[in-house]
Structure 1
Amino acid sequence: MTRPKSLQVHVSFELAERVRNAAERRDISVSEWIRSLLQQACVSVRPTTSCGVAAEQ
């Protein structure tokens, strides 16, 4: 796997707390949960192509 790229996103304090809580409920890291959401968003927007987002194990 190629080296991951950093992606910084600015969100409100409240949204950050909600994201952390959602990841914790799924027993995964925030990064892992957000990567999965990005991958799903890419597939739903362009079902015949990939965004090139690789989920880390």
Structure 2
Amino acid sequence: MQTFNRPSDYIDAAREMAAAGRPALARLLAEEAADSTPNQQDKARILAEFPGPSLRQED
């Protein structure tokens, strides 16, 4: 079972989902990685690797 303790854990999972043809899930995982990354340039780089609109449903 994979744990998600670091941004890199989310990025690894996002890459796996992208390779498996699941871009929406990859984008959601990338957004989680970006949220837990303090550096703005790193956030932008992560989201650029997994382009697309946010699919989050926030209340």
Shared fold by TM > 0.5?
no
Structure possessing the higher relative contact order (Cα contacts under 8 Å, 6 or more residues apart) = 2
- Higher radius of gyration, 1 or 2: 1
